[in-house]
């Protein structure tokens, strides 16, 4: 894994690093964190003179806020500290931070005060850090609701209070930050589920810790460096046979568009030939929008394609089951999506075939499909997206993409990655079909399965992001528009990778 790829640690992993570093840390980690928070506060208030409100809780997160407050006060900034906690029960470092704050002349409020006449310059949330496990209730919940109502910069220290650091789940209620300053490394909860709706602009400060010295990260954020070796320009002496034959099978009655979207995406991402079978017997024999697609029977597609995507609009009838069984028996890269995943979840024989395949299998469920595959429900999946993706990968011995806000990729060796491209405009019909087409196109071009899954996932969101920057969406964005934009983004990646001497 490249050193430039951002690591992601669970709470247990962060605690392990802290326990190894803290005994010899000079200055202490809390002093480093508070200093970093004060520096960020200065940056956010350079053009906003006035009083800073820092709300501190009963643990080490509150201690970070107290150090931040002391440093701001020493720099002649006006600071109001609200502290809620039992001094006798504070952790040692947080207690020392409290004493130092009072020793510097700082005062403590025990309730949220009304804002000054000119309003707060900044609100900082240092109530609860990454260790929170219970829903926030009572006055804590009321405080957070009140803080969220102020239209000023709102800085979360380490993580917005009320967000589960491992899952991104809101625990009762949660602080909505405009900026989050997180320490040591990223946490999954900042990147997936509800986290991205609460963190605002995300900044990481390592606190001068060399993470590689202390721990191997279980997860990473996806970026183009992870598949840069595959981003190669084509030789002048090329022909379509060099770039594979994609097979897409789906498109039952009323769902022709699903298979056609996947096939069009595969064509736009450079597959040499794209064979598509629409299992609806009354389907057209040519795609008038994309006549380059070659419409074939399922049997022809299964026989000829060197990489397959099965499931977009496939249906759940006996013919669909027969097609899936044949596809699972082939030793070729196979993408399973949509109806194929529902059929897989319903049939023990299909599950055994999937697990025992020697060729790569890539499954791309949304939370509902993931719940069926795990014998649970989407709520359980969303409760721990990383854990669900890893379990799916182990159970089906497959590469897994769990779609959603902060899509999670899990690999059979238990590594996992989180994707940060994309936006809510992608919550529309056909987006998953386009993603399947992008993915199978790279597999047909003989990309390694892991690189193909990372690239297709990242590209899918990056194309939507580009369209939004250009004024297309986010609301009203269509899957077909993302399909078109993917080609431009992908070619840009290739140019950039090779301009940098790759």
Residue showing tokens 């994707």? 419
61 marked as part of a ligand binding site: yes
Tokens representing 285 are 């024999």
Q: What DSSP string describes 424-444?
A: GGG-STTHHHHHHHHHHHHHH
Answer whether 102's CB lies under 8 Å from 138's CB: no
Alpha-helical regions (H) of 225-271? 256-268
211 marked as part of a ligand binding site: no
407 marked as part of a ligand binding site: yes
135 marked as part of a ligand binding site: yes
196 marked as part of a ligand binding site: no
Closest CA to 105 of 74, 62, 147: 74
347 marked as part of a ligand binding site: no
Answer whether 122's CB lies under 8 Å from 161's CB: no
CA–CA dist 120, 201 (Å, integer): 19
258 marked as part of a ligand binding site: yes
98 marked as part of a ligand binding site: no
CA–CA dist 34, 315 (Å, integer): 56
Backbone angles phi, psi at 233, to 5 degrees: -70, 155
Answer whether 324's CB lies under 8 Å from 344's CB: yes
162 marked as part of a ligand binding site: no
Longest dimension (CA), the chain: 82
Answer whether 93's CB lies under 8 Å from 163's CB: no
63 marked as part of a ligand binding site: yes
62 marked as part of a ligand binding site: yes
244 marked as part of a ligand binding site: no
Q: Which residues contact 255 (CB under 8 A, 6 or more apart)?
A: 280, 312, 313, 314, 315
433 marked as part of a ligand binding site: yes
132 marked as part of a ligand binding site: yes
404 marked as part of a ligand binding site: yes
CB count within 10 Å of CB 291 equals 9
DSSP lists the bridge partners of residue 437 as none
Report the alpha-carbon angle 246-249-255, nearest 5: 130
Q: b vs e for 363-392, b when ≥16 Cβ sit within 10 Å of the residue's Cβ?
A: bbbbbebbbbbbeeebeebbbbbbbbbbbb
CA–CA dist 383, 166 (Å, integer): 10
Closest CA to 312 of 366, 273, 356, 360: 366
Three-state DSSP class for residue 341: helix
**How far apart, in Å, are the Cα atoms of 167 and each of 164, 275, 276, 400, 481?**
6, 40, 38, 17, 31
Report the alpha-carbon angle 175-179-180, nearest 5: 75
140 marked as part of a ligand binding site: yes
Binding residue numbers for (6S)-NADPHX: 60-64, 129-135, 140, 158, 258, 313, 366, 433
Binding residue numbers for K(+): 61, 125, 161
Binding residue numbers for AMP: 403-407, 432
Binding residue numbers: 60-64, 125, 129-135, 140, 158, 161, 258, 313, 366, 403-407, 432-433
């Amino acid at each position: 894994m490249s050193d430039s790829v951002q690591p992601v640690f669970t709470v247990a992993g962060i605690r392990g690093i802290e326990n190894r570093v803290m005994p010899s840390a000079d200055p202490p980690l809390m002093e480093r964190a508070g200093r970093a928070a004060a520096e960020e506060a200065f940056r956010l208030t350079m053009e906003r003179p006035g009083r800073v409100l820092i709300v501190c809780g009963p643990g080490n997160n509150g201690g970070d806020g107290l150090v931040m407050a002391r440093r701001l006060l020493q720099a002649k900034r006006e600071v109001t500290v609200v502290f809620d906690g039992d001094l006798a029960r504070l952790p040692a470092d947080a207690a020392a931070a409290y004493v130092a704050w009072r020793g510097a002349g700082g005062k403590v409020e025990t309730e949220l005060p009304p804002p000054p006449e000119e309003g707060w310059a900044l609100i900082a949330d240092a109530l609860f850090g990454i260790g929170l496990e219970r829903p926030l209730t009572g006055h804590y919940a009321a405080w957070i609701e009140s803080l969220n109502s102020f239209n000023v910069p709102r800085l979360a220290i380490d993580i917005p209070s009320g967000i589960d650091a491992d899952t991104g789940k809101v625990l009762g209620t949660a602080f909505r930050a405009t900026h989050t300053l997180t320490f040591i490394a990223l946490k999954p909860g900042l990147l997936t589920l509800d986290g991205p709706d609460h963190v605002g602009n995300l900044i990481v400060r390592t606190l001068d810790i060399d993470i590689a010295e202390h721990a191997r990260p279980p997860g990473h954020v996806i970026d183009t460096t992870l598949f840069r070796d595959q981003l190669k320009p084509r030789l002048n002496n090329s022909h379509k046979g060099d770039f594979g034959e994609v097979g897409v099978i789906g498109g039952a009655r009323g769902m022709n568009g699903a298979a056609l979207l996947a096939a069009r995406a595969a064509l736009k991402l450079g597959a040499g030939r794209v064979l598509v079978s629409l299992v609806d017997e009354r389907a057209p024999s040519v795609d008038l929008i994309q006549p380059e697609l070659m419409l074939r029977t399922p049997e022809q597609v299964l026989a000829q394609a060197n990489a397959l995507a099965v499931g977009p609009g496939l249906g759940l009838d006996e013919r669909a089951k027969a097609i899936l069984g044949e596809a699972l028996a082939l030793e070729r890269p196979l993408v399973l999506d949509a109806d194929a995943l529902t059929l897989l979840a319903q049939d023990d024989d299909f599950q055994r075939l999937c697990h025992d395949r020697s060729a790569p299998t890539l499954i791309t469920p949304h939370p509902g499909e993931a719940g069926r595959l795990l014998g649970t429900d989407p709520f359980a999946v969303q409760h721990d997206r990383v854990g669900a993706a890893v379990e799916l990968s182990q159970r089906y011995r497959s590469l897994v993409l769990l779609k959603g806000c902060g899509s999670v990729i899990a690999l059979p060796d238990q590594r996992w990655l989180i994707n940060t491209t994309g936006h809510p405009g992608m919550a529309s019909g056909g987006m998953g079909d386009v993603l399947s087409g992008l993915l199978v196109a790279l597999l047909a071009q003989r990309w390694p399965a892991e690189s193909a899954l990372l690239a297709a996932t990242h590209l899918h969101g990056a194309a939507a992001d580009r369209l939004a920057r250009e004024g297309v969406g986010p609301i009203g964005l269509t899957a077909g528009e993302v399909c078109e934009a993917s080609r431009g983004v992908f070619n840009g990646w290739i140019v950039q990778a090779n301009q940098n001497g790759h």
